[in-house]
Chains A and B, each alone.
Chain A
Amino acid sequence: MNAYRWVVRGVYGFFGVLILAVVAFKVFQPVQVLPRVRLGPGFILVDQNGAPLTNEDLRGKVVLYSFFYTRCPGDCYGVIPTLQYVQAQAPAALGDIPFRIVLISLDPEHDTPERLRAYAERVGAQPDRWVLATQPDPQRLRMLIGSGFNMYYDPQPDGSIRFAPRYVLVDGWGIVRGEYKYETLTSTEERIVRHLGVLAEEIRNSQGSAKLAYEAAHFFLCYAP
Chain B
Amino acid sequence: MSSGAKRGLGWALGALLLIVLGWWGWQRFRPYAFHGTVLQSAEPAPDFTLMSADGPVSLSDFRGRIVMLYFGYTFCPDVCPTTLFEVQKTMELLGEDADQVQLIMISVDPLRDTPERLKEYVQYFHPSFIGVTGSEDEIAQVATQYGIYYEKHEGTPATGYLVDHTATLTVVDRKGYVKLIFPYGTPAEDMAADLKYLIEH
Question: A35, A42, A139, A212: which contacts B166 (Cβ < 8 A)?
Answer: A42
Question: Do B144 and A36 have beta carbons less than 8 Å apart?
Answer: no
Question: Do A44 and B151 have beta carbons less than 8 Å apart?
Answer: yes
Q: How far is the CB of A50 from chain B (nearest CB, A)?
A: 15
Count B interface residues, CB 8 Å.
Answer: 40
Residue A91, interface by CB 8 Å: no
- Chain A interface category by residue count: 35 or more
Question: Do A212 and B9 have beta carbons less than 8 Å apart?
Answer: no
Q: A216–B33 Cα gap in the complex (Å)? A: 12
Question: Do A219 and B147 have beta carbons less than 8 Å apart?
Answer: no
Q: A212–B34 Cα gap in the complex (Å)? A: 11
Question: Do A147 and B31 have beta carbons less than 8 Å apart?
Answer: no
Residues of chain B within 8 A of A5, CB atoms compared: 10
Residues of chain B within 8 A of A10, CB atoms compared: 13-15, 17-18, 21
Question: Do B170 and A36 have beta carbons less than 8 Å apart?
Answer: no
Q: Chain A residue with minimal CB distance to B145?
A: A147
Q: Chain A residue with minimal CB distance to B11?
A: A6
Question: Do A39 and B170 have beta carbons less than 8 Å apart?
Answer: yes
Question: Do A41 and B147 have beta carbons less than 8 Å apart?
Answer: yes
- Interface secondary structure of A, over-half rule: helix
Q: Chain B residue with minimal CB distance to A172?
A: B37
Residues of chain A within 8 A of B198, CB atoms compared: none
Question: Do B43 and A7 have beta carbons less than 8 Å apart?
Answer: no
Q: Which of A11-19, A108-116, A160-168 contacts B (4 or more CB under 8 A)?
A: A11-19
Contact with B along A112-148 (1 / 0, CB 8 A): 0000000000000000000000000001100110011
Interface positions, chain B 2-23, Cβ under 8 Å from A, are: 6-7, 9-11, 13-15, 17-18, 21-22
Q: How far is the CB of B31 from chain A (nearest CB, A)?
A: 5
Q: A66–B116 Cα gap in the complex (Å)? A: 41
Given A3-B9, A44-B151, A216-B31, residue A9 in contact with residue B14 (CB < 8 A): yes
Residues of chain B within 8 A of A44, CB atoms compared: 149, 151
Residues of chain A within 8 A of B46, CB atoms compared: 147
Residues of chain B within 8 A of A7, CB atoms compared: 13-14, 17
Residue B25, interface by CB 8 Å: yes
Residues of chain B within 8 A of A139, CB atoms compared: 137
Interface positions, chain A 31-67, Cβ under 8 Å from B, are: 35-44, 52, 54-56
Question: Do B6 and A144 have beta carbons less than 8 Å apart?
Answer: no
Q: A18–B28 Cα gap in the complex (Å)? A: 14
Query: Mind listing 18 A-B residue pairs with CB under 8 Å?
Result: A2-B6, A3-B9, A3-B13, A10-B13, A10-B15, A11-B21, A37-B42, A39-B41, A39-B146, A42-B148, A54-B151, A55-B166, A56-B149, A56-B166, A147-B144, A215-B31, A216-B31, A219-B31
* Top 8 A-B residue pairs of the complex, sorted by shortest distance between their CB atoms: A6-B10, A10-B14, A10-B17, A42-B148, A39-B147, A42-B149, A54-B149, A148-B144
